[in-house]
Amino acid sequence: MKDRLKILKSFLPPEASERLRIKKISQGELILPSLDGSIFFIQKGSIGAISHYEKREYFLPLKFRPGDIVGLLKSIFVEKSWWEFIAITDAEIILFPRDIVDNYLLNNFAAYKHLTREGIYITERLAQALHIQVQGGARALFAYGLVEYSINNEYKYIKYENVAKTLNITRARLYKIEEEFTKKGLIRKERKKIIILNREGLKDYYREFLFME
User: What domains sit in the chain, N to C, each tagged with a CATH number?
Assistant: 2-126 (2.60.120.10), 129-208 (1.10.10.10)
- How do residues 52-93 score in pLDDT, each as one tens digit? 666 665 556 567 889 888 875 444 444 555 667 888 889 999
Cβ atoms of 106 and 112 closer than 8 Å: yes
More confident residue, 48 or 37: 48
10 or 160, which is more confident? 10
Is 93 exposed, middle or buried, given 0-12, 13-18 or 19+ CB atoms closer than 10 A?
buried
Spatial separation of the C-alpha atoms in residues 187 and 169, rounded to whole Å: 20
In 3D space, the residue among 151, 175, 133 whose CA is nearest the CA of residue 86 turns out to be 151
What is the reported pTM?
Answer: 0.64
For 40, 58, 198, the CA distances from 184, given in Å and listed in that order, are 40, 28, 9
Q: Left (φ > 0), alpha (ψ -120 to 50) or beta: where does 153 sit?
A: left
Mean pLDDT in residue range 115-143 = 79
